[in-house]
């Protein structure tokens, strides 16, 4: 894409898109141009439709993946090429509702964490569960983000660039102090990676988690994000109000948080049926 790529990159940065999103948009736009082997300026709605059908029929991409490509192409034409009248005609895909995640009970979480071999990877996963963090947020923590005096963890530059505070579990603090004694990280990163000045990568933690799941004999589908789901569900089951959970998770909308009411078995089982409110029970004889 050459100069067009650089212009699109600058347009994205000027609008304060996050680095990861900039990379994804540029990657999707490049795939579109390479598929046709023509300059983007020479193409239009027909070529975009052909490319999207290729993604669906041949690449078998998910609706969410298709949505990312559409967003990138809309930006390319609507902003960088200044053809907004064309960009509005590119259809957004219908993204199906996400399936309810598998939720580990507390004993399964304990068993899973015990099965993580590396104390550093265990620290990342324990922190993610204890505070409901996204895996990138947990990996990126600095030692100065742990405020033991106030009992808080400062999450910086979370999703959509938001900062927030979450609780610092006393048990987690004790673990992190022991972890510090054993590893003595030299930089500001709480969980340093292999390269000096960088945090441990989320992929390294995911790999450690997959091994721990197998070692613990857990048959459910478990990812680092499942631990975040477990955090929210377990809080709900213990009586935390949904607004508090929303703030802790950093959700922009209460509707996103409300879906945890669908996955809490204890919350559902503890809800009184209207049948039980009836004064008289049903007849059992004719």
Task: Give catalytic residue positions.
Answer: 134, 159, 225, 228, 251, 260
Q: How far apart are CA 4 and CA 1, in angstroms?
A: 5
DSSP classification of residue 59: S
Q: Cβ of 264: how many Cβ atoms within 10 Å? A: 18
Report which secondary-structure segment, H or E, holds 232: helix 224-237
| Dihedral sign computed on CA atoms, order 174, 179, 181, 187 | negative
Q: How far apart are CA 33 and CA 181, in angstroms?
A: 52
Give the residue ranges of DSSP H helices in 37-157: 45-57, 63-75, 84-87, 106-114, 119-131, 135-139
Q: What are the backbone dihedrals phi and psi of residue 95, each rounded to the nearest 5 degrees, phi first?
A: -95, 120
Q: What are the backbone dihedrals phi and psi of residue 89, each rounded to the nearest 5 degrees, phi first?
A: -90, -10
Report which secondary-structure segment, H or E, holds 25: helix 19-36
140 - beta bridge partners? none
Give the residue ranges of DSSP H helices in 115-223: 119-131, 135-139, 170-183, 202-216
Q: What are the backbone dihedrals phi and psi of residue 225, each rounded to the nearest 5 degrees, phi first?
A: -70, -25
């Amino acid at each position: 894409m050459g100069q067009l790529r650089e212009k699109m990159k600058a347009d994205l940065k000027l609008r304060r898109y996050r680095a990861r999103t900039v990379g994804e948009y540029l990657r999707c736009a490049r795939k579109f141009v390479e598929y046709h082997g023509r300059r983007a300026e020479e193409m239009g709605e027909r070529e975009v439709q052909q490319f999207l059908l290729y993604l669906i029929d041949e690449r078998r991409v998910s609706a969410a993946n298709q949505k990312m490509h559409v967003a990138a192409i809309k930006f390319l034409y609507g902003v960088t090429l200044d053809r907004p009248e064309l960009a509005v005609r590119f259809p957004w895909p219908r993204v199906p509702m996400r399936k309810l995640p598998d939720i580990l009970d507390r004993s399964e979480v304990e068993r899973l964490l015990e099965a993580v071999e590396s104390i550093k990877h265990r620290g990342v996963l324990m922190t993610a569960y204890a505070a409901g963090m996204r895996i990138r947020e947990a990996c990126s923590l600095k030692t100065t983000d742990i405020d033991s005096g106030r009992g808080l963890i400062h999450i910086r530059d979370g999703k959509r660039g938001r900062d927030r505070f979450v609780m610092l579990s006393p048990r987690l603090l004790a673990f992190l102090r022991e972890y510090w004694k054993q590893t003595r990280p030299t930089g500001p990163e709480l969980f340093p990676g292999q390269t000096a000045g960088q945090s441990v990568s989320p992929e390294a933690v995911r790999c450690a988690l997959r091994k721990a799941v197998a070692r613990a004999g857990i048959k459910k589908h478990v990812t680092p994000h499942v631990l975040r789901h477990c955090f929210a569900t377990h809080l709900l089951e213990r009586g935390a109000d949904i607004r508090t959970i929303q703030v802790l998770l950093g959700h922009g909308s209460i509707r996103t948080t409300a879906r945890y009411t669908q996955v809490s078995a204890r919350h559902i089982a503890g809800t009184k049926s209207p049948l039980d409110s009836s004064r008289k029970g049903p007849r059992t004889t004719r």
